[in-house]
């Protein structure tokens, strides 16, 4: 009872990551790193967004495996199931229950404006399914179900959180106060890590060129090699201004992985060649990722513990989600039959 009361007083944080394929350094610096920091202060819900993943074709056995592996990676980064609620989205059916109601309160025009829909439908022109279009509504349901106040995400998800705010406000106005209106939490450094090969594009796990991204599970040699090959797009200029996107990206990665501010990192490297920038960046990335990789391998060995953790997480998440769904179903008139 005591601990429930304590939980209720803290603000709530929710976020998620798709288990589509290997997570990248971008996912870590833009999102996961903050998940870990925020669990100390907030009542935190972190999920593996497997339902979002099927907007693009997935092989079932592979999705199942990756979902559990992604949860293991969350834990390896420091998500502590005693402090946070860690779960797999599809194990809490309330996400779908709320999605339908929100779908009926979302305008086509709002979804048409989503830049990620435009990008993804261009990349998957043979499979522009309705799920891809309504995906931001599922994401809004993920957030509103837990009455989350803060949503740690990278810059590319900001538009989706803004839509969530609009939906929450619209629903609250129509049906009376129901949802907390959430705020995005976007880190100052690392919110948009760019491709190492095409620094004008985001670093992405779906990049067909593996030299463009650093996977969180890349071994140290691969990390060093990829950073050595990174595009540096102008003459020696190491500066916290964004004058050269490729160099700025490396500086950002160095800063985020070493804990130094951008200015400190630039000051330290001023007057040195790009070789030094790349070597320091590679060292900093390896020293962040190597311990995570070791912990990941250890956690994966204990499949039973991992499964038990996810069962507990699903139960805890569902208890919270159910409360919101009951409230919403009552407000819209879905509780006509009393059992």
CB-based contact 51:91 (threshold 8 Å) = no
- According to the binding rule CB under 6 A, does residue 313 interact with ligand TYM? no
- Spatial neighbors of 129 by CB under 8 A, at least 6 apart, are 55
Quick one: 105 or 334, whose CB is closer to ligand TYM? 105
Among 88, 97, 203, 238, binds ligand TYM (CB under 6 A): 203
State the nearest-atom distance from the C-beta of 191 to ligand TYM, in Å: 6
Binding range to ligand TYM, per CB under 6 A, among 149-157, 217-225, 289-297, 325-333: 149-157
State the nearest-atom distance from the C-beta of 25 to ligand TYM, in Å: 8
Is 202 annotated in the active site?
yes
State the nearest-atom distance from the C-beta of 247 to ligand TYM, in Å: 17
Tell me the two tokens of residue 82: 């005693």
What is the Cα–Cα distance from 247 to 232, expressed in whole angstroms?
5
Quick one: 163 or 299, whose CB is closer to ligand TYM? 163
Among 79, 143, 189, 251, binds ligand TYM (CB under 6 A): 143
Binding range to ligand TYM, per CB under 6 A, among 15-23, 78-86, 217-225, 243-251: 15-23
Among 35, 44, 50, 52, binds ligand TYM (CB under 6 A): 52
Given the DSSP bridges, would you call strands 43-48 and 84-88 parallel, antiparallel or unpaired?
parallel
Is 278 annotated in the active site?
no
State the nearest-atom distance from the C-beta of 182 to ligand TYM, in Å: 9
- Spatial neighbors of 149 by CB under 8 A, at least 6 apart, are 11, 12, 13, 42, 180, 182, 183
Q: How big is the site for ligand TYM, counted in residues (CB under 6 A)?
A: 25
Among 43, 69, 94, 142, binds ligand TYM (CB under 6 A): 142
Quick one: 17 or 277, whose CB is closer to ligand TYM? 17
Among 48, 49, 72, 282, binds ligand TYM (CB under 6 A): 49
- According to the binding rule CB under 6 A, does residue 320 interact with ligand TYM? no
Of residues 153-182, which lie at the interface with ligand TYM (CB under 6 A)?
Answer: 153-154, 156-157
Binding range to ligand TYM, per CB under 6 A, among 8-16, 101-109, 125-133, 326-334: 8-16
Binding range to ligand TYM, per CB under 6 A, among 117-125, 190-198, 298-306, 308-316: 190-198
DSSP string, 214-260: -BTT--HHHHHHHHHT----SSS---SSSSSHHHHHHHHHHHHHHT-
* Number of residues assigned to the chain: 339
- According to the binding rule CB under 6 A, does residue 139 interact with ligand TYM? yes
Active site residues: 120, 202, 205
Q: Which residues bind ligand TYM (CB under 6 A)?
A: 14-18, 26-27, 29-31, 49, 52, 139, 142-143, 151, 153-154, 156-157, 191-193, 202-203
């Amino acid at each position: 009872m005591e601990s429930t009361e304590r939980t209720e007083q803290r603000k709530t944080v929710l976020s998620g990551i798709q288990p589509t394929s290997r997570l990248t350094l971008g996912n870590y610096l833009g999102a996961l790193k903050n998940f870990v920091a925020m669990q100390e202060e907030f009542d935190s819900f972190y999920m593996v967004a497997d339902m979002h993943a099927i907007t693009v074709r997935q092989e079932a056995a592979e999705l199942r495996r990756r979902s559990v592996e992604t949860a293991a990676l969350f834990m390896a980064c420091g998500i502590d199931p005693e402090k946070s609620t860690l779960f797999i989205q599809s194990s809490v059916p309330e996400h779908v229950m709320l999605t339908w109601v929100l779908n009926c309160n979302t305008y086509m025009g709002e979804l048409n404006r989503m830049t990620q829909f435009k990008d993804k439908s261009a990349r998957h022109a043979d499979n522009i399914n309705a799920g891809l279009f309504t995906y931001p509504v599922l994401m809004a349901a993920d957030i509103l179900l837990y009455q989350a106040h803060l949503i740690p995400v990278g810059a590319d998800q900001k538009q989706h959180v803004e839509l969530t705010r609009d939906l929450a406000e619209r629903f609250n106005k129509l049906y009376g106060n129901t949802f907390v209106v959430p705020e995005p939490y976007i880190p100052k450094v690392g919110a948009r890590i760019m491709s190492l090969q095409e620094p004008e594009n985001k670093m992405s796990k779906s990049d067909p060129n593996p030299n463009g991204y650093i996977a969180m599970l890349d071994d140290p040699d691969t990390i060093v090699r990829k950073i050595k090959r990174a595009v540096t797009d102008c003459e020696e200029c190491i500066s916290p201004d964004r004058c050269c996107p490729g160099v700025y990206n490396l500086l950002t990665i160095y800063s985020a992985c070493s804990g130094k501010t951008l200015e400190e990192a630039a000051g330290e490297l001023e007057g040195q060649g790009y070789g030094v920038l790349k070597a320091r960046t590679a060292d900093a990335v390896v020293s962040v990722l190597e311990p995570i990789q070791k912990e990941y391998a250890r956690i994966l060995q204990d499949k039973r513990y991992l499964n038990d953790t996810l069962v507990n997480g699903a139960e805890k998440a569902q208890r919270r989600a159910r409360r919101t769904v009951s409230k919403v179903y009552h407000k819209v008139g879905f509780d006509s039959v009393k059992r």
